A and B are shown apart, each in its own frame.
Chain A
């Protein structure tokens, strides 16, 4: 078995073990919803059947392979134009359908503010000769910046959290790889966060730290500092990037609830 085949087998097994349902995803605007849908396509390295259910109950099903959208599956959701419906008859999507697909995605995402995503591995059912369309091309046609769409996801997530914590936020640094950038705060408040990150964060970023993987992928850790300090310290991770911040007042539950609103299923 070649290394590539071994890797495929690992990924295939991982897909089977993991996520038949990834929960309900909240989005703010139509284009934001399109970005969330395209992220699912971008994550489909092996063949996946992706099902998106919108707030109005309509369901959109497609197949993705090699991080490309290759086919839409009938029946089409109700309320589409004839041109959009015709996309569901195509056996293999190509570049000429990009504009129509972006319109279709926007139409679907304007039906609500949440999508429930179900992902099922297809194994060897899908024809590997399918060409398909890169999600970035659809993103550009939808008015999103295709080049930065997925790269900025982590940053956007951290920005959303920091925005939600205003005006209690005192200082924050963003850590991406070896680079740390002070994004908020000054003076002693910024110094406290920077010093702590320099001196102690490394211990938590050790492979021996049991929560490292989850924290870096999508998690938040909050240190409740003594009440006399009137602050708490948080570390939030998303896809390998970290934000370290201090927040005024000791209400750690409010901080965790903000993070939960932004990152976890909003269906409950």
Chain B
């Protein structure tokens, strides 16, 4: 996903502060878009977090599609690209985010990205 695509995704959500597209295998940040400028180290931590989570996820015939985290101070969403399971969309949102909308919009953004490719 390009920064432009990430920005378009982020603009569909009022509560999304940062969106990052990562390669889970190499643990590399591929692109990002945020409300503020985030240092690379910060993006790398989010990428590592996504890779750790999908590595630890229960293994079955199909991979875990997404992992969501919520705390009183914020939320995180990690969405595997089902068309390319080695890549994932990660985002940081407020604790008040609507998860249903977040999931729908993330999936739509990833499908749009796959279609564009």
Contacts and interface: CB of A to CB of B under 8 A. Distances in A.
Q: Do A and B bind each other?
A: yes
B58 A260 contact: no
Given A203-B55, A203-B56, A223-B64, A211 B100 contact: no
Contacts of A265: 72
Interface in B57-72: 57-58, 60-72
Which DSSP category, helix, strand, loop or mixed, fits chain B's interface? mixed
Interface residues of B, number: 30
Contact of A263 (B55, B67, B72): B72
Contact of B68 (A23, A222, A264): A222
Contacts of A23: 72
A253 B67 contact: no
A221 B50 CA distance: 12
Contacts of A224: 64-68
B58 to A, nearest CB: 5
Interface string A148-176: 00000000000000000000000000000
A246 to B, nearest CB: 9
A211 B76 CA distance: 10
A143 interface: no
Given A224-B65, A226-B65, A200 B76 contact: no
B45 interface: yes
Interface residues of A, number: 36
B62 to A, nearest CB: 4
Contacts of B57: 200, 223
A213 to B, nearest CB: 10
Nearest to A259: B70
B60 A226 contact: yes
A203 B95 CA distance: 25
Nearest to B59: A200
Contacts of B66: 224, 252
Interface string A239-268: 000000000000011001101100111001
A150 to B, nearest CB: 19
A70 interface: no
A217 B60 CA distance: 30
A220 B69 CA distance: 6
Which of A217, A225, A257 counts the most B-chain CB atoms under 10 A from its CB?
A225
Interface of B: 45-46, 48-49, 52-53, 55-58, 60-73, 76, 95-96, 99-100, 103
28 contacts: A200-B58, A203-B55, A204-B52, A204-B53, A209-B52, A210-B48, A210-B49, A211-B69, A214-B73, A215-B71, A220-B71, A221-B67, A221-B68, A222-B67, A223-B67, A225-B64, A228-B61, A229-B60, A233-B58, A252-B66, A253-B103, A256-B68, A256-B70, A256-B99, A257-B99, A260-B95, A265-B72, A268-B96
